[in-house]
Amino acid sequence: MTEIDHQLHSIGPGLASSRIFKFIAFLYGIAAYLVFFVTILYAIGFVMGLVVPKTIDTGTDTPTAEAVIINLLLMSLFAIQHSVMARQQFKAWWTQFVPKPVERSTYVLLASLSLLLLFWQWRPLPTVIWNVADPDLAVTIVTLSLAGWVLVFTSTFIINHFELFGLHQVTNHLVGKEPTPPRFKTPLLYKFVRHPIYLGFIIAFWAAPVMTAGHLLFAAVTTIYIFVGIALEERDLVDLFGDEYRQYKQRVSMLIPWRRSV
């Protein structure tokens, strides 16, 4: 064996290992995305009471106080996981253990699993708060709820859907492309409201022709969490983009497009 052959032999396993890791990371990212995709589709059925086997108004009969406590714990688990793991300080810590290319995919996977747990263990509170009897008005409200979900999906694609859910990162890692530094941009809907994704969720959760106590609890708590999440997210964005984001906050409203965009 020549010296060159020896060197190629010695570095070969390292290259193979690196390529294998990139491919495994890519498959992991796809798997995490598929779990997310199934979860968000189930979420639509869960909230709207469509198709899925267990909805927000079905499940194990439980005493009211116990049901409220269990549901609040389930929503708190998701909120804590979703918020804490999104903070820059946490990312700086846990990327010492989780490779950076799969950090976002892992976050997405854990968020999806916590939501699936919520769907599975959710306790219905069937007391009816309001019931829209007029069929035309009921259809209009259902359509509004679907429009909220469309707004959620549309808003993710307007920015970068696949980066938001981790596929962009593992694909770049697979082909050896370096991640680009984050740039502040406000495409389309983001010129009118700062958080169209959150606006879509609020519409989807509250537009219900039949509102039960359980659905009301879910909508109210998730709305409160959205406002807390916005505050935390915007603090990070100010740290990241400085005056550019401060000026954006001044000229564009948070959720309702009442300010004139300039």
Domain spans of the chain, in order of start = 8-251
In tens, the pLDDT along 131-189 reads 999 999 999 999 999 999 999 999 999 988 888 898 899 999 888 888 778 788 888 89
Q: For residue 215, is pLDDT > 50? A: yes
Which two three-digit tokens encode residue 261? 């965009």
pTM of the predicted model over 0.75: yes
What are the C-alpha distances in Å from 252 to residues 71, 136, 196, 200, 260? 34, 34, 12, 17, 7
Nearest to 145 by CA among 126, 157, 132: 132
In tens, the pLDDT along 46-64 reads 999 999 999 999 998 899 9
